[in-house]
Structure formats: C-alpha cells, structure tokens
Amino acid sequence: MHIQEIFNAIYEKHYYEYIVLDKTLNCIEFSDKVIDYVDIQEASQMYRNIIKLIPELVGLEDELQEIAQGSREGIEIPLVHRKKAFVTISIQAGRKSRYDEIESIIVLFENVSQFVQMQQKSIQDRNDKELLLLELDKKNSSLEKYNKHMMHLVEAEIEKNSRLTNEIIVTQREVIATMGAIGETRSKETGDHVLRVGEYAKTLALMAGLSEQEAEELKMASPMHDIGKVGIEDAILNKPGKLTATEFEVMKEHALLGYEMLSGSKQKLLQTAATIAYEHHEKWDGTGYPRGLKGEDIHIYGRITAIVDVFDALGHDRVYKKAWPLESILDFIKKESGTHFDPSLVKLFLDNIHVFISIQEHYKSDKKYHKV
C-alpha cells in the first residue's frame, strides 16, 4: 500500500489511527487519537521503541525486523481488547511506491468495536449453547453411570433374594423331612423312609402327567404323611406283633391327627401335606380310612403316596415285620390294583419299576441322605 493512500484512508475514515516508525522501530509520528490505544506516558517521549508502547508486540522483535528488511509482508493482530474498545493492529512497511525502498514502518490501529459488538452476542450464544449441550451430555452419562450402578444393585438384590428363597426352600424341606422323621423316629424307623417316599412320589407324579411344580410340591409334602403318628401312644405305635382291633382303631387316628396338625397352616405346602396325611390311607374301592373316600375323590397326591408308601415300607424292616422281597411287594401291589390302589397309577408304577428301584439303589449308596 502506498503510504499516501494509507494517510488518505485515515483522514477519510476516522476509525483508523497510526504510528509511523523509522527502520529501527522507534516512533517518529503519531496520529491525533492514537493515544486511545497506547500508553500516554510512553507515547509522550519521542523516539520510543514501539515495543514499549504496544505490549502485544513483545516477542515479535524478530518479525518486526523482518518487516523492516522487507523479508516479511506484515503482521496483523486482530481484535485486540483496548480500554473497552477492540482494535486490529497491523504492522507493515511503508514505501513511496511499490518499487521504492522501504522508508518507514507503519503501525495501524483499526477500531473494530462495532464489528465485535455485532459478533459478540452470536459468539456468546453459540458458546453458551455448546456448553449447555456438553453439560447435558455430562449429566446424561452420569445418569447412565447411575443407572448402571442401580442395575448392579438391583441385580445383586435379586441374586440375594433368590439365594434367600433357595435357602428358605432348603430349610423348609429340611424342616419337613425332620417333621416326617419325628413320626418315623417315634416308631423307631429311619428318616430315610420319608425322604424316599418323597422321591418316589415325585417320580410317579411326573409319570402321571403332573407338572414339575406339582410333582415337586408332592415330593416336599409327602414325607409328612405320617406326622400324625406323634400323637399315638408308644405302646401301640411301637408294639411288636399284630395290633388288636381296638389298637388298630387308635392307630388309624394318625391320618386325622396329621391332617389337624398340618391344616392349621396357611402355607400351601403344609396344606398339601395336610391333604396327603388325611388321604394316604384311603382306598380306591372306598374301604379305606378315615373317611372312606372312593376313586378319584381321593386326591391324586393321596393315591400316589399310598402306593409309594406301601412299596417302601414293605421293602424295609419294620418293628413288626421283616422286609419283603421285591417280587412279593410287586405281587402285592398288582393284587391291590383297583381295590386298594388306583389301577392306572399301579400300571405306571409297575411299567417303570426299574426307575423306582434305581432310586432305591441310589439312596442305599448315597450317604448324604442318611444324615436327616
């Protein structure tokens, strides 16, 4: 730019101010209002080095030298904050014409406050908005973290609960087995009998088409079928040899007694057990006790328990008798089909007798069941 052009521009457009420097970067000429942009104290002394006047030029000594020597076009520092105004500072070489030697260095101050004012709001808005988005993002991800944390807690809680539930089931089962065993123990027999009955009953229930859940319930409830025996006096309960008719009548009471003991509970399992205790001595043909129920009026749990109880009881030594051989047991069950036992259940039982025998074998060898 021709030096005169610059000056013309400055006079026409009042928002330019300038300082002219010699080639050693000392100030030699100021425009009127340049004092708005530089330190008055420093500017009042002639021949001050420009860097003393404009702190923005600290560090740019080399670049300024290059401008003075013509090896660099110029420097522009835009949008410099100055006493509530914004100026763009540019430094360039001054020549009479493009082809002339460099005479001086010109420092121009262009007041761009108006431009900044126009921009400020939109830049602020943009940054505010972007910040808000970032903030939201952060909130979201911490929410996500929180959610994950909650999920972990919930999962842990569920696991704990199901473990507890499991424990309860196990405990319940043990209580039941123990209860059943009390009856058995009083009659000097092993607790294994009640557990085997449970196992057989479940197996036969599944064969009869009951659901896994029903079969499991039967397995847990059936060991209590003789619980009423705790109410029978010792002399009768443990009498070696055959009972008299009167004694037998007393003995029969264990079914009703068991029912009364168990049916007081609201627990579904105990209610099921009550039904079984009540009905495990009923017979298919209606000659059983205590109520003389007939056929399918007897709950299937009772009918199943009747078969497996007899099967297991005959197979093991009792106070009043020695264990029967398997063949005799099966013959007995076959003979009682349709009179004592539900014939369709007997058929299922005999058809699958190997399954029941293997359960029996299993109990014989598996010590862990003996501890109850």
Partner 1 sequence: MITKKVVLIGDFATGKTSLIRRYVDNQFSDEYLTTIGVKISKKTLQISDEIELQLMVWDIEGHTDVKATNPAYVIGAHGVILVGDITREKSIENIPLHLELVKRLLKKVPIVIALNKSDLLPNEIEIEIEKKVLDLDASLPEVLKVFDTSAKSSKNVEAIFITLSQALLL
Closest-CB residue for Fe ion? 226
Q: Which two tokens stand for residue 15?
A: 């928002």
Q: Give dist(CA 65, CA 197) in Å, integer.
A: 108
Q: Which two tokens stand for residue 319?
A: 């106070």
Residue range at the interface with partner 1 (CB under 8 A); choices 11-19, 129-137, 288-296, 352-360: 129-137
Q: Which two tokens stand for residue 104?
A: 């001086």
Can residue 364 be called a binding residue for partner 1 (CB under 8 A)?
A: no
Burial class (CB in 10 A: 0-12, 13-18, 19+), 77: middle
Can residue 184 be called a binding residue for Fe ion (CB under 5 A)?
A: no
Residue 91: which of 1, 194, 4 has the closest Cα?
1
C-beta of 59: minimal distance to partner 1 in Å?
3
- Amino acid 197 reads V
Catalytic member of 138, 229, 321, 364: 229
- CA neighbours closer than 13 Å in the CB half-sphere of residue 315: 22
Can residue 312 be called a binding residue for Fe ion (CB under 5 A)?
A: no
Whether 229 is catalytic is yes
Q: Which does 59 bind (CB under 5 to 8 A by kind): partner 1, Fe ion, none?
A: partner 1
Can residue 73 be called a binding residue for partner 1 (CB under 8 A)?
A: no
Which residue number, 148 or 335, has a Cβ lying nearer to partner 1? 148
- CA neighbours closer than 13 Å in the CB half-sphere of residue 68: 15
Residue 192-231 contact track with Fe ion, rule CB under 5 A, x = bound: ----------------------------------x-----
Residue ranges of alpha helices (H) inside the chain are 3-12, 40-43, 50-53, 61-68, 113-186, 192-207, 212-221, 234-237, 245-262, 268-279, 300-315, 326-336, 343-351, 353-365
Of these, 138, 152, 268, 335, which contacts partner 1 (CB under 8 A)?
Answer: 138
Q: Give dist(CA 162, CA 202) in Å, integer.
A: 23
Q: Which of residues 315-334 bind partner 1 (CB under 8 A)?
A: none
C-beta of 273: minimal distance to partner 1 in Å?
54
Can residue 41 be called a binding residue for partner 1 (CB under 8 A)?
A: no
Which residue number, 35 or 170, has a Cβ lying nearer to partner 1? 35
Residue 308: which of 338, 335, 342 has the closest Cα?
342
Q: Which does 77 bind (CB under 5 to 8 A by kind): partner 1, Fe ion, none?
A: partner 1
Q: Which two tokens stand for residue 61?
A: 């000594």
Of these, 29, 73, 100, 130, which contacts partner 1 (CB under 8 A)?
Answer: 130
Can residue 128 be called a binding residue for partner 1 (CB under 8 A)?
A: yes
Residues of the shown chain interacting with partner 1 in the complex, contacts defined by CB under 8 A: 55-63, 75-81, 86, 116, 119-120, 123-124, 127-128, 130-131, 134, 138
Catalytic residues, which ones? 229
